[in-house]
DNA sequence: CGACGTAGGCGTACAACGTACATCTACGGT
DNA sequence: ACCGTAGATGTACGTTGTACGCCTACGTCG
């Protein structure tokens, strides 16, 4: 009945994401986001319970527009498409990577994506424990790959530093790091995903 | 020449790890670790440059005793053994999971483990770009699996909550979450790893 | 054996964070 | 035109990492 709200949750998420993209994860504070919205710090708390909820909002916003439709192709292609869309969405906002890892269970958009993945796996004949393991393995690879790119991109300073390591202490590492510098992120992700999918395609009897 | 040091870096790492195991990651502060060591807060800074370096110390300590020897078995078994040892070492100190992810490039023990992994992959015939991708994929799976267990254990509250989700909105997710509750962590990791290794074993021509 | 200089140990202080609390205020409904 | 509700905000507190400067214990050298 009284005074209407002047902010929307998507609006808050957009502002927070702008801060994240512009100044990085360390700059994402309640004060800065409130300022970005032109409000006082404490006003934010009329819309989110605490910082955690703000972070969930950002994660959900990044994943909100994920296309969950799936082409009329074999299951392997369908899974690839869903994973690449997720990868692209997160990769478009590098700094959100640690937040996605922490909050993926709390973001509705993330749950919808998981549902879509599981639906494809089910159609492909995965059920029961095999389906659980397939899903968890794909997600593990996805999150691991995102963090590989975030904390130690092959083209980044960390890899360069490894290539400079003492050849006598780390002969193979130094050589591999040098080779790694030429692998672009998209190719790395795609090649790794193909490996996991090859494994999922193999007959379970092979194990 | 003057006054000798009264702390050692392993000693500091041990104290920090004790705090981590006892009270969790949020309790790992410079003040608390200093108190654990019976020193004043600022004394810690005579031994580590900042909090980040303390975290690296902890990660390195957790991984320091990793057995990097490898059985006289096929490469697949060797890789499995190395990954399971790493998994077990981290799993023994759950709260260190986020720190391992952030600091694995800075911890010497982690680099030694990577070198061991790459050596096995090289013997197995992986070279150049294929070796890079194989290594990154295995590490991605490992880190993802650790975080799956840390942030959303199949036997935990998160999975239980998912099983309670609206059946109409998330039919497959709800069913899968219910099934997931019975999968123990060690089995989950081993089964996922077998999938990735199946993929690595497949002829690249199959892709 | 005593003085000295170096580096270890520590007390104080500050900026930035998340957020509890109380107050002020703008608006829709009567 | 008023009134009650809930939005907006200012202030303040506890906690964090850490910069700075002082005091002091000790190995070394005269």
Rounded to 10 deg, the angle between the A108-123 and B171-180 helix axes is: 80
pLDDT digits (tens, 9 = 90+) for A179-188: 999 999 999 9
Residue of B nearest to A159 (CA): B105
Q: How many helices (H) and strands (E) does chain B have?
A: 10, 0
Choose among B66, B83, B86, B190: nearest CA to B137: B83
Chain A CB within 8 Å of residue B128 CB: yes
Report the run of H or E that residue A13 belongs to, with start and end.
helix A9-23
Average pLDDT, consecutive stretches of 10 residues, N- to C-terminus, chain B (207 residues)? 88 98 98 98 98 98 98 98 98 98 96 98 96 98 97 89 89 96 94 98 64
Asked if residue A117 lies in contact with residue A135, where contact means CB atoms within 8 angstroms, the answer is yes
Q: For B11-23, what is each residue's pLDDT tens digit?
A: 999 999 999 999 9
Q: For the whole model, what pTM was predicted?
A: 0.95
Q: Say whether residue A56 is in contact with chain B using an 8 A CB cutoff.
A: no
The verdict on a CB contact (< 8 Å) between B143 and A139 is: no
Alpha-carbon torsion (A98, A103, A108, A112), positive or negative: positive
pLDDT for B205: 42
Per the listing, tokens 């050596």 go with B119
Contacts of B203 in chain A (CB under 8 A): none
CB neighbours (10 Å) of residue B41? Answer: 13
Interface A–B counts its CB contacts (< 8 A) at 186
Return per-residue pLDDT of chain A as tens, 207 residues. Answer: 678 899 999 999 999 999 999 999 999 999 999 999 999 999 999 999 999 999 999 999 999 999 999 999 999 999 999 999 999 999 999 999 999 999 999 999 999 999 999 999 999 999 999 999 999 999 999 999 999 999 988 898 889 989 987 889 999 999 999 999 999 999 999 999 999 999 999 866 444
Residue to substitute from A112, A140, A156, A182, interface B, most B β-carbons within 10 A: A140
Interface test with B, best of A79, A145, A198, A206 (most B CBs within 10 A): A198
CB contact residues (below 8 A), chain A span 65-124, against chain B: 101-102, 104-105, 111-112, 114-115, 118-119, 122
Q: How far apart are the C-alpha atoms of A153 and B107, rounded to whole Å?
A: 17
- In this structure, the number of other CB atoms found within 10 A of the CB of residue B190 comes to 15
Q: What angle separates helix A171-180 from helix B108-123, to the nearest 10 degrees?
A: 80
CB B55 within 8 A of CB B103: yes
């Amino acid at each position: 009945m009284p005074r209407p709200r002047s902010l929307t949750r998507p609006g808050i998420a957009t502002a927070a994401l702008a801060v994240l993209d512009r100044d990085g994860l360390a700059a994402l504070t309640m004060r800065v986001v409130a300022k970005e919205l032109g409000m006082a710090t404490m006003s934010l708390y009329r819309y989110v319970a605490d910082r955690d909820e703000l972070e969930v909002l950002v994660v959900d916003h990044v994943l909100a527009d994920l296309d969950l439709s799936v082409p009329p192709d074999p299951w392997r292609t369908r899974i690839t498409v869903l994973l690449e869309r997720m990868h692209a969405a997160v990769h478009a906002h590098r700094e959100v990577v640690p937040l996605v890892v922490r909050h993926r269970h709390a973001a509705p958009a993330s749950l919808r994506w998981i549902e879509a993945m599981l639906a494809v796996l089910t159609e492909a004949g995965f059920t029961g424990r095999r389906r659980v393991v397939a899903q968890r393995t794909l997600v593990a690879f996805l999150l691991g790959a995102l963090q590989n790119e975030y904390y130690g991109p092959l083209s980044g300073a960390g890899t360069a530093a490894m290539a400079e390591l003492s050849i006598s202490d780390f002969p193979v590492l130094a050589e591999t790091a040098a080779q790694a510098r030429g692998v672009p992120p998209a190719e790395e992700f795609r090649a790794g995903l193909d490996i996991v999918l090859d494994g999922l395609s193999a007959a379970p009897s092979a194990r």
